[in-house]
Structure 1
Amino acid sequence: MNEPILTFKMPLEKRVFDILFSFSVLVVISPLLLLIVALIKLTSKGPVIYKSKRVGSNYQIFDFYKFRSMYTNTAQKLKELAKTNNQYTQGKDNMPNLQQKCKDCLRENTECTRLIYFDDLAICDKVFSLSKKELDKRAFNKISNDPRITPFGNFLRNTSLDELPQLFNVLKGDMSIVGNRPLPLYEAEKLTTDQQALRFMAPAGITGLWQVTKRGKKEMSEEERMELDNTYAQNHSLLFDLKILLKTFPALLQKDNV
Structure 2
Amino acid sequence: MNKQTTFFIKRAFDIAFAGTLILLISPLLLLVSLAIRLDSKGPIFYYSYRVGQNYKIFKFYKFRSMRTDADQLVDQMKHLNQYQAEDQKQLEEFELTRHTIAYHSDEPMVIKDTKYADVNRFEDHKSQDNSNSFVKFKNDPRITRVGRFIRNTSIDELPQLFNILKGDMSVVGNRPLPLYEAEKLTTDNRVGRFLGPAGLTGLWQVTERGKDNVDPENRVKLDIEYAKNYSLWMDLKILIKTPIAALQHENV
The answer to whether the superposition gives a TM-score over 0.5 is yes
Q: Which residue of 14, 17, 20 corresponds with 2:16?
A: 20
Structure 1 unaligned residues grouped into runs of 5+: 1-7, 91-132
Distance 2:20 2:50 in 1: 25
User: 2:196 & 2:189 partners in 1: Cα distance?
Assistant: 13
Whether 1:174 and 2:168 are equivalent positions in the alignment is: yes
- The question of 1:219 aligning with 2:213 is answered yes
Give the equivalent residue in structure 1 for 2:183: 189
The answer to whether residue 205 in structure 2 is matched with residue 205 in structure 1 is no
SS at match of 1:70: coil
Matches within 5 A, 1:27-176: 27-73=23-69, 142=137, 144=139, 146=141, 148-176=142-170
Relative distance call for 1:141 and 1:22 in structure 2 (3 A) is closer
> 2: distance between equivalents of 1:28 and 1:72?
30
The residue aligned with 2:122 is none
Q: How much has 1:71 moved relative to structure 2? A: 2.7
SS of structure 1 residue aligned to 2:186 = coil
> Aligned AA for 1:142?
F
Is the 2:63–2:157 contact (alpha carbons within 8 Å) kept by the matching residues of 1? yes
- Partners in 2 of 1:144 and 1:195 — Cα distance? 32
- The partner residue of 2:238 within 225, 244, 248 is 244
CA contact (8 A) 1:10 1:203 kept: no
> Following TM superposition, by how much is the alpha carbon of 1:72 offset from its aligned partner in structure 2, in angstroms?
2.4
Structure 1 residue 193: Cα displacement = 2.2
Task: Give percent identity, aligned residues only.
Answer: 58
Amino acid at match of 1:195: N
Relative to structure 1, is the Cα distance of residues 216 and 49 closer, same or farther in structure 2, using a 3 angstrom cutoff?
closer
In structure 2, what residue type is equivalent to 1:183?
L
Displacement after TM superposition at 1:24 (Å): 0.9
What TM-score results when the alignment is normalised by the length of structure 1?
0.68
The list of structure 1 runs, each at least 4 consecutive aligned residues, that deviate by more than 4 angstroms after superposition, is 73-76, 87-90
Q: Give the aligned CA root-mean-square deviation in angstroms.
A: 3.3
Shift of 1:53: 0.6
The normalised TM-score by structure 2 is 0.69
State how far apart, in whole Å, the 2-side matches of 1:43 and 1:241 are.
Answer: 36
Give CA deviations for 1:71-115 in whole Å, capped at 9, x if unaligned.
Answer: 325589x7xxx9xxxx9999xxxxxxxxxxxxxxxxxxxxxxxxx
Evaluate the alpha carbon distance shift between residue 9 and residue 73 of structure 1 in structure 2; reply closer, same or farther with a 3 A threshold: farther
What CA distance in whole angstroms lies between the structure 2 residues aligned with 1:37 and 1:211?
25
User: Does the 8 A contact of 2:210 with 2:249 survive in 1?
Assistant: no
Larger gyration radius, structure 1 or structure 2 = 1
The answer to whether the 8 A contact 1:159-1:257 is kept is no
Change in 2 beyond 3 A, CA 1:10/1:59: farther
Determine the C-alpha separation between the residues in 2 that align with 1:233 and 1:89. 31
Q: Provide the aligned length of Structure 1 versus Structure 2.
A: 200
More moved, 52-61 vs 41-50: 41-50
Displacement after TM superposition at 1:218 (Å): 3.9
- 1:143-191: CA deviations, max 9, x gaps? 6361x32211121112111111011110100000000010111111112
**1: CA distance between counterparts of 2:150 and 2:137?**
17
